[in-house]
Amino acid sequence: AIILVHWLLTVWGCMNYMFPPSYAWGNFSVLAVGIWAIVQRDSLDAITMLLTGLLLTVLTDIIHISIFYPPNNYLSNVKRFSLGMAIFSLLLKPVSCYLVYQMYRERGGE
C-alpha cells in the first residue's frame, strides 16, 4: 500500500512538467527498490535501501519544491494540483519511513 500510494502521488506530482526529470527519476527509483523489497520478503538489504531512499527523497523533494515553486500569478489549476500532490507525498513520507522501519525491525534489523 505504501508503494502504491507514493506511486500515485508521484505520478500526479509529475503531471505538469513543472519539476525537472530528477524529481521523477528519484521518486520512481525508490519505488522500484520498494517493489524489490516486496518481492524479496527475507532481504534485509532491500528494506534498508528502501528506507534510505525514502529518507533521501524527503531531502530532495524539499529542495525540488522550494526551488521550482512558481509565483502565484503563474499557478494554474493543474500546477496547483500537481504541487499539492507533491507536497502531500512529501508530508506522507515520514509516516512511510516509520512503517518501513517497522518492517525492517520485523525482518531482523536492529
Beta carbons of 57 and 93 less than 8 angstroms apart: yes
Kindly give the confidence (pLDDT) of every residue in the chain, 110 residues in length, as a single tens digit, with 9 standing for 90 and above.
888 888 888 888 888 878 888 988 999 999 999 899 888 888 788 888 989 999 999 999 999 888 888 887 777 888 888 888 989 999 999 999 999 898 888 877 77
Structural domain containing residue 63? 1-107
pLDDT of residue 62: 92
The predicted model scores a pTM of: 0.80
Structural domain count, the chain: 1
Which alpha helices (DSSP H) does the chain contain, by range? 2-13, 21-39, 44-68, 77-106
Q: What value, to the nearest 5°, has the Cα angle with vertex 31 and ends 26 and 32?
A: 100
